[in-house]
C-alpha cells in the first residue's frame, strides 16, 4: 500500500493493558500510538467510519498512557462523528481532556460543540460552553452563544440572565 492511511485498522491494545506493558515508558508508547493515529488520517479530508473507530481506540491509548497530552483529545473529536456512539466516545475523551486541562477553553468548547451539533443536547452544550467562556483566551462571542443555547433549550430565564450579565460586563455598547 502506497499510502499508510489507506491500510485497514491494525491491532490496538486495551488502554489498561498498554499501561502495564509500557514498563514505565508510557510517554514513548503514547507517542508511538499518536503517530499511528496521525497516519490513520493521513492527508485525508474524510475518514470513513472504520478508520474513525480505529483512530478513537488509538487516541484512547494515547491519552490513557499520557493524559497530559493536549491536542490528541481535540483531534479525535474532529474525526469521531459518524454516529452517536462515536460522538459519545469523543465526548468521553474530551471530558478526560477537561480533567487534565481544566483551564484550556478549547476542550470545553469542542465538548460543547459535539453536544450541540451532533446530539442536540442544548443544555449540556450551554454548560460546557459556559465553562469555556470563563477560561483565559476564550473568544468574546461565547456568552452570546451560551445565551442562545439556553434559549433554545427553553430556559429563557437563564438566557435572559446571561444576556443581562453580558451587557453589564460589556465595555463596548456595540458588543
DSSP string computed for 18-41: HHHHTTT-HHHHHHHHHHHHHHHH
Model confidence at 163, pLDDT cuts 50, 70, 90, reads low
pLDDT of 175 reads 43
Whether residue 77 has pLDDT greater than 60 = yes
Whether residue 172 has pLDDT greater than 70 = no
Task: For 87-97, give one letter per residue: b (16+ CB within 10 A) or e.
Answer: bebbbebbebb
Q: What is the pLDDT of residues 142-153, one digit of tens each?
A: 998 898 888 876
Query: Comparing 30 with 155, which gets the higher pLDDT?
Result: 30
Over range 11-39, report the average pLDDT: 86
Could you give the residue ranges of the DSSP H alpha helices within 24-155? 26-41, 49-65, 71-79, 84-100, 105-113, 122-133, 142-152
Provide the 3-class DSSP secondary structure of residue 137. Answer: coil
Q: What is the pLDDT of residues 80-127, one digit of tens each?
A: 999 999 999 999 999 999 999 999 999 999 999 999 999 999 999 999
pLDDT of 16 reads 80
pLDDT of 82 reads 96
Burial of 53 (0-12, 13-18, 19+ CB in 10 A): buried
The residues, ordered by sequence, that sit 6+ positions from 114 with a Cβ below 8 Å of its Cβ are 77, 81, 87, 90, 91, 94
Query: Comparing 13 with 164, which gets the higher pLDDT?
Result: 13
Q: How far is CA 44 from the centre of its chain?
A: 19
Whether residue 171 has pLDDT greater than 70 = no
Is-contact 159 151, C-beta < 8 A? yes
Amino acid at each position: 500500500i502506497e499510502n499508510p492511511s489507506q491500510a485497514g485498522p491494525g491491532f490496538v491494545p486495551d488502554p489498561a493493558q498498554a499501561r502495564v506493558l509500557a514498563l514505565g515508558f508510557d510517554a514513548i508508547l503514547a507517542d508511538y500510538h499518536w503517530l499511528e493515529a496521525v497516519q490513520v488520517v493521513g492527508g485525508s479530508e474524510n475518514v470513513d467510519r472504520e478508520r474513525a473507530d480505529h483512530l478513537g481506540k488509538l487516541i484512547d491509548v494515547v491519552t490513557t498512557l499520557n493524559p497530559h497530552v493536549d491536542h490528541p483529545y481535540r483531534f479525535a473529536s474532529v474525526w469521531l462523528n459518524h454516529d452517536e456512539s462515536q460522538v459519545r466516545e469523543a465526548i468521553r475523551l474530551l471530558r478526560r481532556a477537561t480533567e487534565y486541562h481544566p483551564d484550556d477553553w478549547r476542550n470545553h468548547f469542542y465538548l460543547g460543540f459535539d453536544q450541540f451539533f451532533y446530539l442536540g443536547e442544548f443544555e449540556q452544550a450551554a454548560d460546557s460552553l459556559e465553562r469555556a467562556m470563563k477560561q483565559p483566551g476564550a473568544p468574546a462571542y461565547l456568552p452570546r452563544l451560551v445565551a442562545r443555547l439556553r434559549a433554545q433549550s427553553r430556559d429563557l430565564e437563564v438566557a435572559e440572565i446571561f444576556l443581562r450579565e453580558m451587557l453589564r460586563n460589556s465595555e463596548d455598547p456595540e458588543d
